[in-house]
Amino acid sequence: LCGLCVRYCNEIKKANAIGFVGRGTERRVVFYPEIASTVCASCRE
- Catalogue the E-assigned strands of 1-45: 18-21, 28-31
36 pLDDT tier (thresholds 50, 70, 90): confident
The DSSP-derived string for the chain is ---HHHHIIIIIS----EEEESSGGG-EEEE-HHHHHHHHHHH--
Please write the tens of the pLDDT for every residue from 16-30: 999 999 999 999 999
Residue 12, domain extent: 4-43
Please give the DSSP secondary-structure letter assigned to residue 2. -
Structural domain tally of the chain?
Answer: 1
